[in-house]
Structure 1
Amino acid sequence: MAKNNIIIKLKKSDDLNHKILNDELLNQFTYKPIVTDEMLFENGRINKVNYDSLMGICYVQKLEGMTLEEKQKLANEMSKCHFVEYAYVEMAMPPILSEFTVQKDDASSLETDYTPYFFSTQGYKDGLTEFHKGIDMEYAYSIGIYGQGVTCAVIDGGFNFRHINLKKETFINFDETDVNHEHGTACAAILYGKDSGFGIRGLVYGADKCYAVSNAEESVNALINILPYLNEGDIVSLSWGSDKYPMDHDLAFWEVAKEATSAGIIICISAGNSSVNMDTAEELEEYRNRPDNGVIRVGAGDRFSLEKKAFSNHGNLIHIQGWGDRVTTAGGKDFYDYIAPVPLRESENCKYTFNFFGTSAATPIVASAAVAIQSWYKQETGKVLSPIEMRNLLIATGIPQKNPERGHVGPMPNIKNAIDELSRRIRN
């Protein structure tokens, strides 16, 4: 569960510490900056993220024992201080599929010997079929593209690193945590599950590496801490946040995401599952009026019609859609659990679901399309597409949404169309 942290941004001032010490309210607390000294060092940087602009964003410490209502009241009072730019309670985390105890043993030979291969049920990898509409990852495979040359990161609540489809050296436990959530396992497996001939297969299993960033408590820190490890053109998939709004509704997260995309790092975030019309919701007026921060917001569509799923947030702030239900992936307990040999039914290392759903499921599908397209473009040109270029390409070459007037979630990515368009541009 989230701690309902308070995030505060202090205005830059030469005597800021003195001001805090002399403020009767603020001097009761301590403040943990999200920007570390190491981030400010020029030596060893692999990207051009401007961390200086994020100075002053802090997590407020010493809040133990306070209720959510008390924290909200405190944040409101802090925001009134003339040298505080903003203060708010960080978004609560959404419910996970279920939480379970991490097993300490490695995947046994029994798990790998008896687990079936479910790749054929991962229909979102397909192109346009008579049954459903996918992103056409099969086309990428046909031309030798598996994500190579690109690094990605999945930010979520936690991961089962012992799952037989996630036990790979290049799937990196960034935080060295042992927090195990089926939600994170499901998202990571869609993108980067191991190609082993059993279980499922990640759409871009051949990417150079994938960082797994556990984000159980501090969303802003989860994003900023991974940035020093990502190059221009690399891709972040984030499905963890709030069901109500996209994660960048939070001001501090929005600012960090803006600096990341300005440095060329592509960020795909889930739009939320509250059926909110983001074009008209009064409480989102300030959010709508912010300048473009370069992220790709992902809504959920129907795999047959590409109409908006009833639960998906919608509006012009949403750019692209992925499958919103019936997504086969690792984690969960509703698929292989029922047909597994008896010794495997208690093992969390070979669990699967055929109905991962929500904008959470849609986001790693869209991120995978971006990884594959970036992989091809980098291989062909030695360059990378910027976040805005990638977003515009996905929209322009995607399969159009049906009935957007019922709620805009954008088109479905189509990898073949995108690569064909890039090939045309290169030739011309």
Structure 2
Amino acid sequence: MKKLFVIFLLFYVATFFGQSRKGMFQLDLTSNQHELYVSLPEVVLDGTDDYNRLVFETNSALAQLQEVYGMILEKGIPISDDKLEAMLATSQKLGGDLQKISKLRTIFKVIIPNPTNERLFELATQLELIDEVEYSCLLSLQPVRPPFDIAPVTPNFELFQTYLGANPGVNMTFAWNLNVTGSGIKIRDIEYGFNKNHEELHQINTFLATGMTINSAASVDFTEHGTATFGTVIGHKGLYGISGLAYGATEMILFPEWQISGYNRVFAVSQAIANSVLGDVIIYEMQTGGQGGQFVPAEFNTLIWDLTAAASASGIIVVAAAGNGAQNLNSTYYQNYMNLGNSGAIIVGAGTSNLSHNRIFYSTFGTRVDVQGWGENLFTTGYGDAQNIGNDFNQYYTNFAGTSSATAMVAGCVVVLQSYHFSLTGGYLTGPQMRTILKDTGVPQGNAASGNIGPLPNIQAAMQAIYDNYALSVATENTIEFTVYPNPVQNQLTLMYGSEVSPEAKVELYNALGQLVYQSTLSQAKEIDCSTLMNGFYFVKVTANGKSTTKKIIKS
């Protein structure tokens, strides 16, 4: 017989989480069908040894429950070992928390005969009485409501997309004017469906994940939610219709929760992660039931939290809806969830579409909510309640709302900023790094006393912060003295310098992408004509005798 090894990670559980994760499972009040997961100590198998036999032979308490309930354990997270190893390698390079990824190996699905809600809840309770069990988790097998809700020629609707402009919008046009549109970034969206044939989506790289299906019982209210999300983020930019915030992104793929085989949120999230790498963006257009069944972030479910934390630790950015339950995540009911710490996801609340940026009454809130997007009046694809061109389903447009529209809006900003960062540095921002930039540079929330949902992204300020960080990282030790005026400049920019600077010193002007747009010598460039430059920020660099100094200017 081959030798068996059992490793109980009790020290890991106590030190990593800093508190018990038990007692957090609950039944979805709207669902009569659930599945049960359990987090057990890690077991190392030698050869083909059977996990069930090993666990039940080495733990008498689990063996007793196995006899009573007839339970069988299956691998809980459908992510291959090779993918987990790749995630661990990436996390190690990032200096991330490897344990958050290894944790996925310890999660198992519990299969029992006659899995009624009552039997599953009872078994979950009994499992958590065993010391070696870290937590039980119940997940609904019925779809959770999404967070809210060609010819003839379609007019150009960008005028209706006021969120593209400056405050109260996110000022995405500033990035577009610099040709920053999300290029090179891949997006994964988790929800129910979308209309690939919509005139804004059929010509671009939008797909249903390979090998996955959309359940035919998913009504238009469910599937058009995805159409609205896709349009907001990556909709085609042309002479008609709308334009996605990150219309230049490489691709956007749907990973549906509700397939022909049934509803399975864990599988959808796992597959989105398994098909993502460092720098990719996953959107959680999902919510789950909290106190009294009111909606909160999907990661309130402990198993989804673990998956999210693993994705974040491996450099994948997760942007997630706060949910439309008007719940205060700082209240006593959610204390155990808050004690888990930060998963790394960017949680998005719903704010007003005006200059106040107040929390909309239905948005879940609290210190765990990071930023806000418009929870109303976000014009995009789908549904047909705002514009219905020729009564053609593929030419429907809507005013998207809820934490769903807010999440799609923030996700588009994240994709564009990730693309910009890569264009400068050749590297990617992690979720926590992106969140810090969004919060530090965003437009402040109004009436914060009503419950925190964070600031609204400000693309221009965020790009400035990214460039400033980049400039600091490549700053030279030696500097030379010069000044420029006026700043901001409209037409002529004048340079002034002392006698110690040679007239033959090199002058360079770079745009916000770090691209060289002008170069000369000081003897020829005491004045630089900026009249033909697009508005935005630029950098003047003067180099002489191995020394250099860079100064920022604004073209207005």
Task: Note whether the superposition's TM-score is higher than 0.5.
Answer: yes
Over the matched positions of the two proteins, sequence identity in percent amounts to 27
The secondary structure found in structure 2 opposite 1:393 is helix
Partner of 2:184: 149
Query: Is 1:425 paired with 2:425?
Result: no
Q: Distance in 1 between matches of 2:341 and 2:375?
A: 28
Q: 2:300 aligns with which of 249, 252, 255?
A: 249
1:160 pairs with 2:195: yes
Alignment correspondent of 1:390: 434
Return the letter of the residue paired with 1:27: G
Tell me the secondary structure at the aligned position of residue 55 of structure 1: helix
The answer (yes or no) to whether the contact 1:191–1:203 under 8 Å persists in 2 is yes
Change (3 A) 1:41 1:302: closer
Map 1:317-396 → 2, pairs under 5 A: 317-337=368-388, 340-341=389-390, 345=391, 347-354=392-399, 356-396=400-440
Contact 1:329–1:353 (CA<8 Å) still a contact in 2? Answer: yes
TM-score (norm 2): 0.67
Matched, 1:195 2:237: yes
Secondary structure of the structure 1 residue equivalent to 2:189: strand
Partner residue in 2 for 1:314: 365
**Alpha-carbon distance change, 357 to 286 in structure 1, aligned in 2, over 3 angstroms:** same
Identify if the C-alpha distance between structure 1 residues 43 and 233 changes in structure 2 by more than 3 Å, giving closer, same or farther: closer
Deviations 1:338-371 (A, max 9, x none): xx33xxx2x43222212x2111110011111111
Matched, 1:28 2:71: yes
Q: CA deviation at 1:44?
A: 11
Matches within 5 A, 1:279-290: 279-280=330-331, 282-290=332-340
Where 2:43 maps in the other structure, the secondary structure is coil
Structure 1 length normalisation: TM-score?
Answer: 0.86
Distance 2:162 2:235 in 1: 15
- Between the aligned partners of 1:67 and 1:330, the Cα distance in structure 2 is 40
**May I ask how many residue pairs the two structures share in their alignment?**
404
User: Does the C-alpha gap of structure 1 residues 285 and 29 become closer, same or farther in structure 2, counting only changes over 3 Å?
Assistant: same
The structure with more radius of gyration = 2
Task: From the superposition, tell whether residues 67 and 44 of structure 1 become closer, same or farther in structure 2 (CA, over 3 Å).
Answer: closer
In 1, Cα distance between the equivalents of 2:287 and 2:397? 23
Cα distance change on mapping 1:98 and 1:247 into 2, 3 Å: closer
Structure 2 counterparts to residues 202-281 of structure 1, below 5 A: 202-216=244-258, 217-242=263-288, 244-280=295-331
Instruction: Give the counterpart letter for 1:4 in structure 2.
Output: H
Contact 1:26 1:78 in 2 (8 A): no
Q: What do the CA deviations read for 1:74-114 (whole angstroms, capped 9, x no partner)? A: 43233334443222222564324999xxxxxxxxx43xx43
Q: Which runs of 4+ in 1 moved over 6 A?
A: 43-46
Alignment of 1:12-51 (within 5 A): 12-14=42-44, 16-18=51-53, 19-20=55-56, 22=63, 23-25=66-68, 27-40=70-83, 47-48=90-91, 51=101
CA distance 1:4–1:125, shift in 2 (3 Å) = farther
- Corresponding residue for residue 177 of structure 1: 213
Offset from partner CA, 1:233-257 (integer Å, 9 cap, x none):
2211111232611111111111111
2:424 alignment partner, SS class: helix
Partner deviation per Cα, 1:364-406 (whole Å, 9 max, x = no partner): 1111111111111110111211211110000000000111111
Counterpart for residue 11 of structure 1: 41
Letter in 2 for 1:77: Q
1:102 corresponding residue in structure 2: none
* Cα distance between partner residues in 2 of 1:69 and 1:6: 12
Q: Which moved more, 1:193-202 or 1:41-50?
A: 41-50
How big is each residue's C-alpha offset from its partner over 1:152-174, in whole Å with a ceiling of 9 and x where there is no partner?
Answer: 11111222222222224521211
Consecutive unaligned residues in structure 1, runs of 5 or more: 100-108
Q: Distance in 2 between matches of 1:94 and 1:314?
A: 20
Say which is worse superposed, 75-84 or 249-258, in terms of deviation. Answer: 75-84
> Where do 5+ consecutive residues of structure 2 fail to align?
1-29, 45-49, 58-62, 93-97, 289-293, 473-556
Q: Does 1:72 align with 2:111?
A: no
Structure 1 residue 204: Cα displacement: 0.5
Query: Is contact 1:273–1:311 with CA below 8 Å preserved after alignment?
Result: yes
Q: How far apart, in 2, do the equivalents of 1:39 and 1:218 lie?
A: 23
Residues in 2 aligned to 1:85 and 1:269: alpha-carbon distance in whole angstroms: 25
> Which structure has more RCO (C-alpha within 8 Å, separation ≥ 6)?
1
Instruction: Note if contact 1:97-1:332 (Cα within 8 Å) is conserved in structure 2.
Output: no
Deviation at 1:206, TM superposition (A): 0.6
CA RMSD in angstroms comes to 2.7
